[in-house]
Every structure is written in structure tokens, then in C-alpha cells.
Structure 1
């Protein structure tokens, strides 16, 4: 009865909220480098869109997107013209594509998602075309399309003839992008050729809560790496076509009444596979004749291409679980069964590689990481049942966000007031310059508007021997409580050698864990940072460090007493290029450490996270446990080894920093280079997909190919000390010779594990 009463109360509350709060609150976002009258927030109704299902709203929607002249056709990239384009509930008829600009978010009413419905004569490559072909090449380089979202929509192509080519969304993008809560409706007829989602390039990325109904293909995708969870496919001919990848992680798929679940056989006709690896966990196939279609054989070319790892997969009336070129590789059932774990590719224990196709004996999952037998997940809260009165604007509280004013006191007071009044702090767009630590107490809920920036500045953060947090969650390590943070960025301005961008102290040991959704660390390379081409132009061949370009001590530090943190689509990035410079020219800036977790207990969930270009390491776990990772992504700084990883941040013993003295003793090659992943004296660590990349040596990419011997750096993944129950699935490395080391000894060698562009180890488990 309590549950029924709660549902009725929630339904009553929804009924009293007239439209989503995002369309009701005042919008005061200020883009300081776009002009005083630049509109950060746009409601498509204000630009003439009707949403009545009859009027052609195409021109009005594109007018809303292009208001203020954002970065669109022939623009390389920018952070100066952010935008939120909001769609109230309704049906918006469109006859040609909608073209979201760079750094633009399309957001529908979360309580009543609007429908974009194509006319019968629709013309265009996607109802939403996220990266148009204005010429023979994509408008934006797909590996540099960052900070974009589309959420809360129904995309409907059912009015287009089933036999006419149609695409719901074209989305070749990169890191810090997301799709959430989107339904793709297509005809479900024998002659249908519609595709829901199409991606052909990029370096993603994250998606969640997507539903595909009908169509020839639900999603047809090729990209370097991705994490996707909670995707549902109903009555598609093929749910997923994997065009190509280096690594891809799917979790929580529900594939129903489709002829093929995942087709990862691309390139198999000539025995040279295009799909590098696929990791599939916690998923269900129902009434699907073939769950997985692969081109993998024992003689596949390259040697590890087509690597597949599956874990906890439920089958209901699925005759063939995995089908290869010669027939059934893994039988299914006419009834119900669960595949505990199965895969194919190369595996390692204490030695290897062993080429296998068959069952995997998984180490037990820690119960603290699970919910109903699956890894815990939680979608970004959108507060769709709350009225506008539940939100407090940071600009109404006195903060300026102009990248020049000291907003420390105003921002801190706004946070404290919102918590005291049990409100959600709305961080209107702006660059909020702070000169001392911003403290986020238990109970805080903060939502950003198109990725506003909290940016440290001044001498308080510039002592390399006395690092201080820019944003501190929890006053002391182990303080109890929960917070919810979404859609904003933490950064630094000028020289900040002692800045730790985020320090996480909070322990969420009961109830739901705390969460960070689309919260990014972005250091340097954009207007307002004073860490751009003018200050920190790259200097290949010159190992001298520009003291003006020491920009952060650490990206994020999870302290010993912290626990219970859920991270989704979090990108911790030291910029390699200037986003706001016309040619995206490379820069050399120095940030010491990426994500460091030293919590003594966990649990931590890292869904679709990345950490890039930090000097000493990208991910380091020390004396911790109970960590889940879904398709992590790292890159080594482009300037290394000129200078190497010991410069300019001296290793700190108390932080378990690597000093490379033991790990590099007697080792040839570029050994003192940033670790991609370092696990020290930790246990119960589970990585389901990882792309650990080293593309450059002193800004030259000549080292990153198999022909060159993958000589950018010698080592990239290190398991050390008493680390136990460390489980790494589908490890993909580029530019690195020793893929995995254990206590200084080589485990996996790149040339033994050649994949499409990376090297791949499908299974590594430590005792």
C-alpha cells in the first residue's frame, strides 16, 4: 500500500507541474566571450515552432539553434557559444534535418518528451544530424566534437515509406557527449530499410536509456570506443550492427523479437575483421534467432580482431547464442538459460596468450557493486516531478560568471542556501572564477546549464607542495551523506600548480550512492583559462618546461574515507589543443595526476569515464577495493618523453606516486611515461573494456603503428603489490609495447595480440 500511495502522490505532483521546470525557470546564463546579448537558453516556441503535429517546424527549430551565430557550418570548434535549445511537450513536424551547433544541447521536456516527426517527403541524413556532410567530409572532425547532449525525445520516421532510406539520428561525435531518454520509432514491416541511430566515426562517448522500435537496424555504429547501457530493441530486423570499433561496452541491453541481436561480423568476408572488441554484460535476448553474429575464427586476421566477452546474459527462446562463419559457436535454447560468461580472443593468467573460444570462469562480483544481480546503474536525475520553485539560480544569488569577477563567496553562499532550503542549485551558464576552495556539503544537488565552469585562479592554488581542492565534496574524509551533481565543468585559470580540481571526501555508505553525471574536469585549451596557444604553444624537441604552463596538481582525488560514488560520463581532460583557436593548434600544458582513488572500501562505479594527458598517470587505485569500470579511455601526454613523466611534478610518496625507479630498471624504450592504469595493493577491481592509448612521442605519431613497433611508450597498465582479484576484459592498447605488467614483469606483449589498430587482450585475471 505504501508503494501505491507513493505512486499516486508522485502522479499528483506531476499533474500540478505545468511543463518541465527547465522551461519555467528564469534563464540568466551569460556567455562572457559571446557578447552581452547572446542567448544561452532558447525555447523553440519563442522562435515560432508550434509543436502541433501539423505545422512544419523545421525552420523555426533551426532558427532557435542558430540564434546568436553559434559554431555551425565551417566552424572548427568553440567553447564561447554554449546553448540549451529546449523543446516543450508536443509533436514537432519536420521536413528536413535539424542541425545542432557545436557546444549545443537539445533537451526536451523530461516529464513529457516531445516528438520530432518526419513528414512523408522528409529530406536529410537524420531527423537530428549531429555532424552534417556539407561537403564530402564531416563538418566537424569527429574526434574533436565534445560537450554535446541530446535527451528526452521521440524520433519518429513512420510517415516515411518503409522502403525509403531514413535515419533517426546521425551522431559521429567524441568525448563528453551523451544521448539519454530517446525513443526511435520506425516502421516494422518486411521491406523496411530505416535505421534508428547511425555513427560512422568518432571517439566516444556515452549513451543510456534508448529504445528502438521497428526498423531494419536499430543502431548501426562505428567509433573508436563507447559505453552504452540500458538500450531496448523491439521488432528490429537487426538490433545492432557494429560497423567497426577498437572497444565497445554494452550493459543492460534488452533485445526482443529481432532476427539478429548484435552483428559484429563486419569485414569478415575477406577474413580481415573490422570490429576490434565487444564487451556485453547484464543483458537479455528474447525471441531472437541469433543473439550474436561474428566473423571470428581461430585464423582471424588480425589475430585478436573480433574479440568478444559476455557475462551474465539471459536468453529466452534464442536458438543460437553465437554464430560464426561456419555455424553455431555457442548454442542457445528454445527455453530459458543464462550464460554466466563466455568469450573468444586471447586470454592471460600468469602467462599467455591463449587463444580461446568458450566459457570464461568469472571471479565473483562483490555484492556491494550489484543491484538485483547486475552491476548498479542510475540514470542522471532530471527532477521532472519538481516545480520551478524547487530551484535556486546561482546568478540570482549574486554570482557573475564572467571569468573575471571573484565569485567565491557568492557561489559558496548559493550552495549553502540551496542545501539549507532543500532546493536544487541551478548553475546558470558562466565561467565562475574562484580564489579559494568551493565546499559542497551533504545534501547538495547541483545542475548546470550547458556546462558552466567553476574555475580556480590565484596564488591559493599555486603551491605545488601544498595542493588544495578547487571543489571539495564533503568537508572531511569520511563525512557521511549524499550529493547529486550534473552537467558542469571544473577547471583552472593561469598557473595553478597546486590545484586539485575535485576532492571527494563524502562517504555514502547507506541508501543510494552519491552521483556525478556529465561532470567534467577540463583543464586548459579554452578561452578564459589563459592556458592557450598564446601562453603554452607546443615546443617539440624542447624538454624545457614553461613555468607558466603548470596548470593543475591533480584532476580528481577520492580520499581514504570516501565511499559510495557513482560516476557516469565523466571526462577528466588536460587539453592537448586549443579548442577556441581556428586550427585547433596543439599546446603543452602540465597537470600532474588524473583520477586517484585511495578509498579503503569503495564501492565505485565508473560508467563511460575517461582521463587524459596527465603527467604521472591517468587512473591510479591504491589500497582500495570494489571498483567497476565500463570502457575507460586514456591518452598519454603528447609531449612525453620530452620531458618524461618525472617532470615537472616530483613524485609524492604519500600519494603513492610512481617514481619509475623499480618499474623501469633494466627496461628499454620509453619507460618513464604516464601510466594509463595503475592498480596498487587493491582488490576486487573489474574493468569491462578499456582503451589505453599512447599516440605520440614528442608530438610525432610515427611511433603508434604496428609497422613502427608501437614504440611511443614501453608500459601502460601496471598491477602491483598485493593487488588481488583484478579482472580486465578487452584491454586495448595503442603505441605501447608491454600491454600489461605485474610487479614489473611483462604479462602481455603487443605483437602477440594484434588487433585492427590497437592490440587486444580479451581476458586478464589476477589471482
Structure 2
């Protein structure tokens, strides 16, 4: 059972009509393991696409994706070696059958004048963009292992088709009226992360979706029969929805054999206008499973929505024929702080710190694409001497590019490649960095070899508390070989006004060609407990230091690899990463939108002595090898970093206690988490512990709130495989048996005492 992120970042932006810099800069991206002359960047017009609204461009576009023939298509499980950035200039591209983006393909349209993909009247296929085709009776790629894709800056037009279906698109223009069966976005499976800035016009359904979890932000639905149908989920967080003139808003009433299929949804900072029914549920006090169909609403404005929430027996929450705002409402299990109480009705909304708000809503910012800048405003790291071949030492060249570009007010462009760093690099205030197709910066050599003397790899700000703002997007930081003293990101900046931002910036520790942490070095050995020192890969993924403040993170995935992406069998491997995301900022002001942290030994998320933090749909997984060895191996707890001391805290606790925390909160205040999934699927690589039938026995505990923490609020907490869902100062607050959901256990609302 491989449960991971489908990192599909879908963004739609429109600006002034001018040439987009991405088309004009030199393209020097190097895929060092793809063969000589392999083109990473591809302009569809170079492969014969016309974009004139007359010619059929289907074959040309698919040819641009598939050529040369070593790309990961039919029968290929996954790969990191053959990335493609597929660029579409402005224009209208006629499509008569499905475009199939192979593994590790990013489709990017002109951000200043988004191109249109227009279906022909005789279109044949499952969707205009079919992200995972059924070439056999099964999906070609395991849906939970489809990584590192993007689709952005497009208009999708199916108005020429009388009947049809679309999948994973961006701006959706569909026919309106009776008899229309078009669906804008269809997702049937996977373990998702984040989507934003989508607009759906017309159609029977704007988005029809089934997935484990997602954060979706700034989705607009106009004149749809139903805006959203949830086919199934574990947890889903919607932020900033705008539903206008639809028949229904969100339908989560899916049932199978008398059991609900939808676990929970969280809807905040949203509007529903001229729509008869806002939310359709199947929840009742006797429905099964006990907590399925949980709903939490906060700051949802209604205008001419007569029924806010309907259930099996009719209206559950009345709306208004004029205007009203749902400040807070839920149906499901509440722990405030004790429970469970199975309640339906109004709730006091979270006490939102003003430092986190933009008006009356939580601050958010879409990924910058710099569409107003000319190509001359970008500085390529390859042009300044970096090789990106996974062999050369690129430290000095990368640092020089960052320093020179920042001092000149320009943007650093990291051409695709694998760049070895043998000492830390520093990103100064004012820096703007954007990657091409997720290039990789790899800690390499002996600098980070001492597990007792951790050092940063990428420093954002030279010293803790340095003032300023940075913008970082679309790249990965990793290691080459064992780097047990490496802290991949150290965030030091005090961004006291406008926050700094990280969009689609990830860590990937092992499991890819060039990492020297693959099947050959780190093959799993279930139950042995023997630590292979070559596979002790990283000390910590990211550290926000004490004087840092003001960071917005969106669609950021900090991942210790559990399998080898470049092994066609997706063979499991054992990699040791000590700590995930550690925030100890005393001033706080952090936004974690659609983030995930997985497979770290001691913890995945830890907050200590901090405040003012917003998070949506946190997602974690415990390392698959635990408890052999347990969380005390191979990293010794470091008291100066407030590491958990399992030796003392596990005294008297039965089961697998010394296991990685999904989330640990120490002496922190004003923390609001809107959706969280903390999962433990394996015990020594066996999944027999993570089912309701087996008793959810993979580990004893998974979420902990400790010390002088106050105003800690969690909506829709979902856990799998943990006996205790939530601990307060070493005492179990909630058990999974009391909160059984569709697959995880669910708590609608937790508030600290």
C-alpha cells in the first residue's frame, strides 16, 4: 500500500497580453540521466502544433510529450529521469482526442495570455487531458504514486461537444442547460495535495472528485448544475470557494450499500450565491460509519441560498432568501476539549489572530509567475556556470547567480538539473527564485557528515531575525548519499510586513537516480532493525528558527522516500530522516496551505514556543519500518531542539509508543488547523495494523499537545493506525474506536482547554 501525493499544482492566471518570459529565455535544462541531447523544455509549436483554431493539434501535442521514446508512458511505473516542461504559446489548440501527459510532465501555458484547448465537435476520449489513462483494465500509474506534475494557465473549452467529460483542467468553459452532462474536473483516486485558482463555467458538474485529501483554494463555479460532487474522501479543505447560480453547491451524499463514502469536508472563507441548496449531506445521528459525512463551516457567506445544508430528511441548516453568514457550524464529533459529543449545530468560530488575516479572511497568495517581466529580468544558473549534471560542484555558481540576480533586482532561474552543493548556500532578502521542472539542489560531500553537528544546506536569510522577504517556487532540495547532519532548509528571515513565500518547493530524500539512496543501497529489510549508515540521509527537512517570522508555504511536500521512484516495481526502501518541519519562531505568522511532511523518524510537524499559525489539510505518514527500529534510532533526541524523549514519555504506555509523531505542539498559542490527516499504515512494513478490523494498532499515539499551549483548534482531524488520536500532556483525549469514519477515524472539532 503506497499512499503518497499526487503533486498536481493547477493554477490559472490572466494578465496583460505580451510575450511571456518563459518562451523567450534560453533553455539549457539538463536531464543528466536521460541521454544526450534530451530536451527538457519543449514548445508545442516546435513539434508542429499551430494554435490557430483551425488545425487539429492533438497529434503534435502528444508527439511533443512522447518524443524521444524513453519517456515514462504505457507500462512505466514512475521516473525522475525524463522530465518535460511543455509550453503552449497563446492561441487556440483544437483537440480531437485525449492529451496524455506522461509521468513527470508539466503543461504550462502563456501566463500573460492563456491559451485555449478547444475540443472538436467529434472529440473522442475520456477527457481533454487524461492524466492517468486506462490502457489496460487498470490505471497506468498507481494513482497514489503520481508525482511532480503541473497544469497551469489554460482555458478549456468544450462548448462544441454536445455531451462530454473533462479531467484535470484549469479554466473550464462548458455548455449550459438541461441535458448537458459535461464535467469540468474528474478525479477518481489518489492521495492529493493542492489545487488553486480554477474557474468552472457551465456543465452538469464543475468538479467530480474522489481522493484521500486535498486543499483547494480559490475555486469559482458559475452556472453549474452541481458545483462539486465528492465521490469519496477522507478529508477535504475548501478555502475561498465562490459558487454562483448553481443548482447545488457541494454534494457529499455518496453512499454504497448503506454506508457513506465521504469522510469529511471543511469549508471556510467562502461565498455561495443564488444556489437553492448549499451543501447536500447523508449525515444523521444513526448513519454509518459513525463520523462519516462530517461537515465544518466557518465564515461562509450566503446570498439567496434558501437551504444551507440539507440531509436525508430535508433541511438541516436553513439559509436565507437574502443574505446571511455562517460564522461557525458543524455536524460530527466534538472534543471541546473533552468528548466525544455527537453534535450538529452552531459553533463558536476559531479566534483568528489578526496577524494571519487579510480583511476577515486568512491571508493567501497565489504563486507568482512574473508574467509582466521581460526575459532580460531572469538570470540562469546554467549561464553563470552551474552544470546540473549530478557530478560537478555547483555551490559557487549557484551562490553567485543568487547574489548577482538579487542585487540587480532580477529573478534567479534554476534550469532543470541536479546540482551538487558541497557547502551551504544563502538566499538573501529580496531574492526571487523559480525552477524549471523541479530542479534538484543536492547536499553532497562530507560537509554534513556529522550527526552531532547539524548544519543547514539552504539558508533563507543569513542569520535568524534578518529582515526581508523572498519568493521561492518550483524546486527541490535533497541529498546525495548519507548526510546525517544536513538541515535542508533553515528559514531565518523576519518578514514582518508582507510574508515571504514558498510555492511548490519540496524536499525529496532518496529514491531517485543520482541520490545514491536507492534500492541498491537502501533496500528494505523488514523486522531486522539494522541501520545501514549509508541510508542515514538527513538530520531535518526544514527549521524555522526562533527570530524568524512571516512565511507562507503552499503545496510544499517534505518527503523521505519510502520507495524508489526510478525502480519500475516501486520497490520499498529504508531511508532515515530525523525530523520534518520544526517551527520555533517566537513571533509566529506562518501559513501552511496544502503541505505534507512524511516518514521522518522523530516527528513530521513540530511547533514549539510559537504562535499565530494557520494550516490546511496537514498530511503525514509514519516511517514504514518503525518500530524496528523505533523512533530513538538512529537519531538521539536533542534537547536544544525540543526533540521528543520517547524513553521517558513512553513509560507506562503500551503498544508501539516510540513512533514518529504526526504533529507535536509544545507551549504554543493561537494555532488553527483546518483539516489534518495523520496516518500510520505500517508496522515493520506490514499493513495488518492499519485497519478497523485489526484495531488500528500500528502505533500508540500520533498527535500531541503539550505544556502551556492554548487556543489550539483542529477541525476535521483524521488518523489511521493509531490507538490514540490525540494526546494532551501524555493523556489520551480521543481514541479511534469512538470516532470511526470511512477509513480513518475523525474528530470534527477539537479545542484545547
Structure 2-normalised TM-score?
0.97
**Where does 1:64-83 land on structure 2 (aligned, <5 Å)?**
64-69=64-69, 70-83=71-84
Which residue of structure 1 lines up, in the alignment, with residue 25 of structure 2? 25
Which residue of structure 1 lines up, in the alignment, with residue 107 of structure 2? 106
Which residue of structure 2 lines up, in the alignment, with residue 607 of structure 1? 593
The answer on 1:150 being equivalent to 2:151 is yes
**Where does 1:422-461 land on structure 2 (aligned, <5 Å)?**
422-461=409-448
The answer on 1:578 being equivalent to 2:543 is no
Deviations 1:516-547 (A, max 9, x none): 00000000000000000000100111011111
Deviations 1:716-737 (A, max 9, x none): 0000000000001100000001
The answer on 1:208 being equivalent to 2:209 is no
Output the CA distance in 1 between the equivalents of 2:505 and 2:558.
9
The answer on 1:407 being equivalent to 2:394 is yes
Please say if residues 307 and 343 of structure 1, whose CA atoms lie closer than 8 Å, have aligned partners that are also in contact: yes
Q: 1:665: Cα distance to partner?
A: 1.7
SS of structure 1 residue aligned to 2:398: helix
Which residue of structure 2 lines up, in the alignment, with residue 243 of structure 1? 231
Q: 1:349: Cα distance to partner?
A: 2.2
Which residue of structure 2 lines up, in the alignment, with residue 277 of structure 1? 264
SS of structure 1 residue aligned to 2:404: helix
Please say if residues 711 and 752 of structure 2, whose CA atoms lie closer than 8 Å, have aligned partners that are also in contact: yes
Which residue of structure 2 lines up, in the alignment, with residue 264 of structure 1? 252
Structure 1 gaps of 5+ residues are 1-12, 172-178
Please say if residues 662 and 744 of structure 1, whose CA atoms lie closer than 8 Å, have aligned partners that are also in contact: no
Output the CA distance in 1 between the equivalents of 2:367 and 2:68.
29
| 2:309 maps to which of 315, 322, 332 | 322
**Where does 1:329-344 land on structure 2 (aligned, <5 Å)?**
329-344=316-331
Which residue of structure 1 lines up, in the alignment, with residue 209 of structure 2? 221
Which residue of structure 2 lines up, in the alignment, with residue 730 of structure 1? 716
| 2:355 maps to which of 364, 368, 392 | 368
Output the CA distance in 2 between the equivalents of 1:462 and 1:723.
35
Output the CA distance in 2 between the equivalents of 1:650 and 1:717.
21
Please say if residues 350 and 672 of structure 2, whose CA atoms lie closer than 8 Å, have aligned partners that are also in contact: no
Q: RMSD value over aligned CA atoms?
A: 0.9
Please say if residues 171 and 200 of structure 2, whose CA atoms lie closer than 8 Å, have aligned partners that are also in contact: yes
**Where does 1:615-764 land on structure 2 (aligned, <5 Å)?**
615-764=601-750
Please say if residues 271 and 295 of structure 1, whose CA atoms lie closer than 8 Å, have aligned partners that are also in contact: no
Please say if residues 165 and 181 of structure 2, whose CA atoms lie closer than 8 Å, have aligned partners that are also in contact: no
Please say if residues 234 and 258 of structure 1, whose CA atoms lie closer than 8 Å, have aligned partners that are also in contact: yes
Which residue of structure 1 lines up, in the alignment, with residue 299 of structure 2? 312
Output the CA distance in 2 between the equivalents of 1:537 and 1:358.
51
Which residue of structure 2 lines up, in the alignment, with residue 120 of structure 1? 121
Which residue of structure 2 lines up, in the alignment, with residue 186 of structure 1? 174
Which residue of structure 2 lines up, in the alignment, with residue 95 of structure 1? 96
Output the CA distance in 2 between the equivalents of 1:298 and 1:113.
48
SS of structure 1 residue aligned to 2:704: strand
Deviations 1:107-129 (A, max 9, x none): 00001000000000000111001
Which residue of structure 1 lines up, in the alignment, with residue 9 of structure 2? none
Output the CA distance in 2 between the equivalents of 1:660 and 1:167.
52
Q: 1:351: Cα distance to partner?
A: 2.0
Output the CA distance in 2 between the equivalents of 1:394 and 1:36.
20
Deviations 1:5-53 (A, max 9, x none): xxxxxxxx946x4x21101111000000001210000000000000000
Output the CA distance in 1 between the equivalents of 2:446 and 2:287.
57
Please say if residues 85 and 107 of structure 2, whose CA atoms lie closer than 8 Å, have aligned partners that are also in contact: yes
Matched residues, number: 738
Deviations 1:342-367 (A, max 9, x none): 01010012321000110111231001
Output the CA distance in 1 between the equivalents of 2:343 and 2:188.
30
Which residue of structure 1 lines up, in the alignment, with residue 183 of structure 2? 195
SS of structure 1 residue aligned to 2:46: helix
Which residue of structure 1 lines up, in the alignment, with residue 41 of structure 2? 41
Q: 1:287: Cα distance to partner?
A: 0.2
Output the CA distance in 2 between the equivalents of 1:245 and 1:403.
39
The answer on 1:131 being equivalent to 2:119 is no
Please say if residues 572 and 594 of structure 1, whose CA atoms lie closer than 8 Å, have aligned partners that are also in contact: yes
Deviations 1:37-86 (A, max 9, x none): 10000000000000000100000000111122311111100000011000
Deviations 1:251-293 (A, max 9, x none): 000000001000000007x541000010100000000000000
Which residue of structure 1 lines up, in the alignment, with residue 10 of structure 2? none
Output the CA distance in 2 between the equivalents of 1:660 and 1:289.
53
Structure 2 gaps of 5+ residues are 1-14
Output the CA distance in 2 between the equivalents of 1:14 and 1:700.
54
Please say if residues 16 and 113 of structure 2, whose CA atoms lie closer than 8 Å, have aligned partners that are also in contact: no
**Where does 1:358-507 land on structure 2 (aligned, <5 Å)?**
358-507=345-494
Which residue of structure 2 lines up, in the alignment, with residue 55 of structure 1? 55
Structure 1 residue runs of 4+, over 3 Å off? none
Please say if residues 156 and 168 of structure 1, whose CA atoms lie closer than 8 Å, have aligned partners that are also in contact: no
Output the CA distance in 2 between the equivalents of 1:470 and 1:167.
46
| 1:517 maps to which of 503, 514, 517 | 503
The answer on 1:531 being equivalent to 2:507 is no
SS of structure 1 residue aligned to 2:723: strand
SS of structure 1 residue aligned to 2:564: coil
SS of structure 1 residue aligned to 2:726: strand
Output the CA distance in 2 between the equivalents of 1:738 and 1:688.
20
Output the CA distance in 2 between the equivalents of 1:538 and 1:53.
52
SS of structure 1 residue aligned to 2:647: coil
SS of structure 2 residue aligned to 1:730: strand
Output the CA distance in 1 between the equivalents of 2:615 and 2:628.
31
**Change over 3 Å in CA distance of 1:351–1:662 after alignment to 2:** farther
Output the CA distance in 2 between the equivalents of 1:294 and 1:286.
19
Please say if residues 192 and 213 of structure 2, whose CA atoms lie closer than 8 Å, have aligned partners that are also in contact: yes
Output the CA distance in 2 between the equivalents of 1:567 and 1:300.
37
Output the CA distance in 2 between the equivalents of 1:317 and 1:697.
51
Output the CA distance in 1 between the equivalents of 2:473 and 2:337.
41
Please say if residues 14 and 386 of structure 1, whose CA atoms lie closer than 8 Å, have aligned partners that are also in contact: no
Deviations 1:413-433 (A, max 9, x none): 111011111110110000000
